Chains A and B, each alone.
Chain A
């Protein structure tokens, strides 16, 4: 079984980003970049399927500028066999990414595509579902458990009320939720080995799809600021404030 794992380069999850002073965008100067946490979970799941004998090859792919090669090398160090960069300097939207990934799916014919449910920059939560729509494949989003059983995948999904289990035909698109696994750290020898693994670069234009943005960001502003609260000394004070000042309990 061949697995394709699309990943994304994003601001590190520990960084608290701010809008630029002129509100023209997000201030990303000198900010630490990393592989999106949900994508890391996707890579880990693919590696486990290979270690368990289910998968034979793992291909990591990303859409972005040449700087994204860094995150592809991370995926290779975690256990992907080879990588593909679909290179573009346009800030691509989920629909465009899904169209480009469809092009890669057509070339590589994977049996399974695993990707993060959402990137922590745009918080869109769209790409996997869109890729499923464009390829006509079934989708199993927000996965907390994945089992391959013959020609089907049995996927437990994290839904609002609890958990839902569905069975989908292969090939399919799976998006990862937090509880699917705990990703490993790349070891130093594996980081060194990753430098020798193949990384192909494809021009986004060569895939012949429309990737022009449909959304224009008019401004990026800070969220409303909460006014500083107070520290109460005792539980009695707290109950008194909630009853008589905030009036949220009776």
Chain B
């Protein structure tokens, strides 16, 4: 039996999260196949074929897959699932959307957000906002899994996989894409950035995030935020780091004006080095920070900016 990895991509490019999942898949036994389902997705297809460790790339290039509507993608995955012992996707909003649908159609449980693979049927996954790590053994014949991408290194891109075009059309016709508002940014993506600087309620308003931007530019960092900052409308939802937002694990995470609620810590406490800047010395964020600076962020951040 082989292993199927569902690629995360925007039709033109493969997202790094796909490479993380391929690395996870190398802990299992069997050839690794990658499914690229999209529309005019030859760019993504070519990149998928270069991911090290991938034996075969399956391409479903058709208009109904353009926006990754769960109904159509799930039917496609189910249709090609017979040969696979494991089906894996990154735990991105796309993966979280279509994978449980795949599981239910196959009548198997899903194992969400795994952080380690112990054997072909046993996996570790965080529960309760990462306050506990559960080791679970699954008894289904087919394993449907979403992978926490920060727990696995990204596979290299020096492979050359065979490419197979699928003639699979699945359009359930019960859902329709209307529009999307995707933030355009020259900064790295939050989930794959080496450095992240995040702001919380202490930023006071959206304009003040500009002082983080200048630091981010110097460090090549992505900008994130706590739920409090997003709920207050300082920044859009795609900035949110936390239990229900993005899970990140950069080399350096700088938390500015973030108190450190359990739900925020769940999204960033696996970062290599954590810096906290907060004027409240009792803020819980200091309990996970490697370096804490008790200071008013409006003087400390510009000073940091000047010294980088």
Question: What is the interface of chain A, defined by CB distance below 8 A to chain B?
Answer: 11, 13, 16-19, 26, 38, 93-95, 98, 117-118, 120-134, 137-142, 144, 154, 157-169, 172, 177-179, 213-223, 226, 228-232, 234-236, 238-239, 241-242, 246, 248-249
Interchain CB contact under 8 A, A238 and B263 = no
Point out the residues of chain B lying under 8 angstroms from A157, CB to CB: 93
Chain A nearest CB: distance from B308 CB in Å? 7
Interchain CB contact under 8 A, A129 and B175 = no
Question: Dominant SS at the A interface?
Answer: mixed
* Chain B residue at minimum C-beta to C-beta distance from A216: B137
Contact A139 to B183, CB < 8 A, known contacts A16-B262, A217-B136, A249-B252: no
Contact A133 to B105, CB < 8 A, known contacts A138-B71, A139-B70, A235-B303: yes
Question: Dominant SS at the B interface?
Answer: mixed
Chain A nearest CB: distance from B67 CB in Å? 7
Chain B nearest CB: distance from A214 CB in Å? 4
Point out the residues of chain B lying under 8 angstroms from A93, CB to CB: 109
Interface residues of B in 152-210 (CB under 8 A from A): 172, 174-183, 191, 195
Interchain CB contact under 8 A, A235 and B132 = no
Interchain CB contact under 8 A, A179 and B237 = yes
Interchain CB contact under 8 A, A26 and B132 = yes
Point out the residues of chain B lying under 8 angstroms from A161, CB to CB: 180, 182-183, 238
Partner of B128, one of A11, A138, A139, A158: A11
Contact A226 to B113, CB < 8 A, known contacts A141-B97, A214-B139: no
Partner of B180, one of A17, A98, A162, A238: A162
Q: How far is the CA of A225 from the CA of B140 in the complex (A)?
A: 33
Q: How far is the CA of A219 from the CA of B135 in the complex (A)?
A: 5
Instruction: Verify if B216 is at the interface (C-beta below 8 Å from A).
Output: no
Interface string of B60-75 (1 = CB under 8 A from A): 0000000101110010
Interchain CB contact under 8 A, B103 and A126 = yes
Interchain CB contact under 8 A, B96 and A141 = yes
Interchain CB contact under 8 A, B291 and A123 = no
Contact A231 to B103, CB < 8 A, known contacts A159-B93, A164-B177, A179-B237: no
Chain A nearest CB: distance from B133 CB in Å? 5
Interchain CB contact under 8 A, B291 and A241 = yes
Point out the residues of chain A lying under 8 angstroms from B79, CB to CB: none
Instruction: Verify if B53 is at the interface (C-beta below 8 Å from A).
Output: no
Interchain CB contact under 8 A, B94 and A159 = yes
Question: What is the interface of chain B, defined by CB distance below 8 A to chain A?
Answer: 67, 69-71, 74, 92-94, 96-105, 107-113, 122, 126-140, 172, 174-183, 191, 195, 219, 227, 230-231, 236-238, 243-244, 246, 251-252, 262-263, 269, 272-275, 281, 286-295, 300, 303-304, 307-308
Point out the residues of chain B lying under 8 angstroms from A246, CB to CB: 252, 273, 290-291
Partner of A218, one of B105, B137, B288, B303: B137
Q: How far is the CA of A239 from the CA of B293 in the complex (A)?
A: 11
Chain A nearest CB: distance from B306 CB in Å? 9
Interchain CB contact under 8 A, A123 and B126 = yes
Interchain CB contact under 8 A, B70 and A141 = yes
Interchain CB contact under 8 A, A123 and B113 = yes
Partner of A138, one of B175, B182, B231, B286: B175
Interchain CB contact under 8 A, B131 and A130 = no
Interchain CB contact under 8 A, A124 and B104 = no
Chain B nearest CB: distance from A218 CB in Å? 4
Interchain CB contact under 8 A, B174 and A168 = yes
Point out the residues of chain A lying under 8 angstroms from B69, CB to CB: 166
Contact A235 to B300, CB < 8 A, known contacts A121-B127, A125-B100: yes
Chain A nearest CB: distance from B46 CB in Å? 22
Partner of A95, one of B103, B238, B274, B304: B103
Q: How far is the CA of A28 from the CA of B237 in the complex (A)?
A: 32
